[in-house]
Amino acid sequence: MRIAVCDDEERYRIDLKTLLDKLLINVDYDIDTFDDGNILIKEFTSSPYDLVFLDIEMPAIDGITLAKKLRLVSENVFIVFLTGHIEYALEGYEVNALRYLTKPVDINKLKEVIRYVQEKQGGDRQIIIREEGEEILIDIGDVIYMEAMNQNVRIVTSKGEHVIRYNIGDFEEKLKNDGFFRIHRGYLISLSKVKKLVKNDVLMEDGTTLPVSRSNTKALKEALYSYVEGSAF
């Protein structure tokens, strides 16, 4: 996802980029920041962005005018206005603005924007976890397996690991339609990351061997066959 942030005030550019970096830690993305809308237009014309955050009140060119110019280049770009004055909101209908965010931007409101854009782009589903006081988005497609550790869950992904306070049973319910299977009371695996079955174990993509309970062996084979055939998920 290519993102642009245009605001003539440096503190707001930095703050918004920091929030985006936190939310998109496990997502492929690029963020460019601009303090002048005219420079953004030149960059956008040569290589359009997927999502643009525009401050409405800028001296060189205001956000509404800037949005109109961007719309001439792309009808598909998602435009989000940044403002301290919500009364400007009505003007945004002219340029089909996705949303208005008041400054300073609330991370939960920003999260809703990112989710919406990703869904519209047909991107991978994600889960949100809270680790060390920060909220992080994880692409479900990156998850290899999850391990129950007392009152915590260890999430092993292709990009790293996360340990959070959670119930693995809740993840099982949440991901039941995303190709995940509970092979053991302590493990929830992604069927897409299975390399092979070895007796009562399963070898995962990262080389980890995990135990499969006897009561789940037959069901796991059936789930794998269904997954490969594309009939179950």
**Homologous superfamily assigned to 2-120:** Response regulator (3.40.50.2300)
Provide the residue type at 1 as one letter: M
Residues 6+ apart with CB under 8 A from 119: none
What is the pLDDT at residue 124? 56
What is the pLDDT at residue 91? 53
In the chain, domain spans: 2-120, 140-229
Which CATH number is correct for 140-229, 3.30.1490.20, 2.40.50.1020, 1.10.10.10, 3.90.25.10?
2.40.50.1020
**Residues 204/144, Cβ–Cβ less than 8 Å:** yes
What is the pLDDT at residue 232? 34
pLDDT along the chain (233 residues), means of 10: 94 94 79 96 93 92 92 90 67 68 89 81 72 84 94 94 93 86 96 88 95 93 74 33
What is the pLDDT at residue 99? 83
What is the pLDDT at residue 172? 93
CB count within 10 Å of CB 164 equals 15
Whether the predicted model's global pTM rises above the 0.75 cut:
no
